[in-house]
Amino acid sequence: MGDSTPSPTPRTPNLRQAKTWDKAKRLSALRDELQARRCTTADLARRFDVGPRSIQRDIDALRRMGHDIVEHAGQAYSIPKHGTLLRPAEALAAYAAIRLAHHHSPALNSHYRHALHSISMALPERIRHTLNASVKDTGATPFAERQMEQVAAAWMDGRVLNFDYRRPNGHLETGNELCVYFIEISRDNLAPYVIGLERRRRGQVRTFKLSRMANLSLHQDTYEPDPDFDPKAFLSDAWGVIGSENPLTVTVRFAPEAAYRILEGGFPNATLIRRDGHVEVEFRAGTDKTGLPRELMPFLLGWGPRAEVLSPPHVREAWLAELRETLARYDTTPARNTA
């Protein structure tokens, strides 16, 4: 006799349950928005891609849940909330730093935005609404945000991270396995980088740019943090995020018109010396395989004629070569006839 056991009937998705879940998530996000800033019905409708009537029903639902909805002129609403562990000056400093990263880095758009909302809760309502109204939607894709979530999960849970990596030359390096040690934001481009022990290929602590990491997943293996890893020491010679076992000192003379900006400070691994209106600075920076401080070079070139690289000779020559090539490529002024 054949098997008379009936085949299992495919489960039909519960659309009502899915809609309930979507609304619950929207109510939570709506509460966060109204705590962070004063919003109109139209603002919220655009933000959540629903109609104004849906927003009004959501606001009524938040009221029934016990939230103190404050109405303002022009169909605007807010939810008062106070108190974090940050003091006002600390909250403002943290807010300004994350706002800078949010507006000038294509990565982590929504994570930065949510962090800004949370930090602003330490500030009075009139300040909080002004600050959060200044945050623009950068239009960044959620690609790097999903990557950061995987990196965070690996680091927090002590799980080895699997990923492929697109090298700067375009080559795809597959099958990397990383024990995450640290996350750093580059001062050069405000992009996030992941630092850790890459155990499969080189067995060394390496630095990876988050946006170049692809196909991330958590390995079944776990790891313990290296007690000898010191991020301050690892990044001590980094101008951005790349340290080096062979750092060098680059001496640069800044013209008087740039001296006041240099004297304001804020440069890592720098020693300043004043000389007759000029300022000479010794920058200690990590080098690449060619012996050049690649992360420092764009900073030096950005000063144009107001900065002169004095030493070492091979760095000065590389700096001059960049300037000469730029001039040759873009200066189309015909040479004067001096005969």
User: What is the distance between the terminal CA atoms of the chain, rounded to a whole angstrom?
Assistant: 110
- Owner of token pair 């609304």: 23
State the DSSP string of 263-331: HT---TTEEEEEETTEEEEEEEE---TTS--TTTHHHHHTTGGGEEEEESHHHHHHHHHHHHHHHHHH-
For CA atoms 175, 179, 185, 186, give the dihedral sign. Answer: negative
* 301 to 122, 273, 283, 305, 312: CA distances (angstroms): 40, 20, 14, 9, 16
Q: Please tell me the distance from the alpha carbon of residue 58 to that of residue 265, in angstroms, as a whole number.
A: 50
Residue 324: CB partners within 8 Å, gap ≥ 6? none
Q: Return per-residue pLDDT of the chain as tens, 339 residues.
A: 444 445 444 444 455 665 677 778 888 888 888 888 888 999 899 888 889 999 999 999 988 888 888 998 888 898 886 555 677 788 888 888 888 888 877 677 778 888 888 888 878 888 888 888 888 776 666 667 788 889 999 999 999 999 999 987 888 999 999 999 999 888 777 888 999 999 988 888 999 999 899 999 999 999 998 988 988 888 876 776 766 667 889 999 999 998 888 888 777 778 888 777 889 999 988 888 888 888 889 889 999 999 999 999 999 999 999 999 998 888 877 666 655
Q: Please tell me the distance from the alpha carbon of residue 22 to that of residue 108, in angstroms, as a whole number.
A: 23
Strands 159-166 and 192-198: unpaired
Residue 18 is predicted with a pLDDT of 59
Residue 135 is predicted with a pLDDT of 82
Residue 37 is predicted with a pLDDT of 81
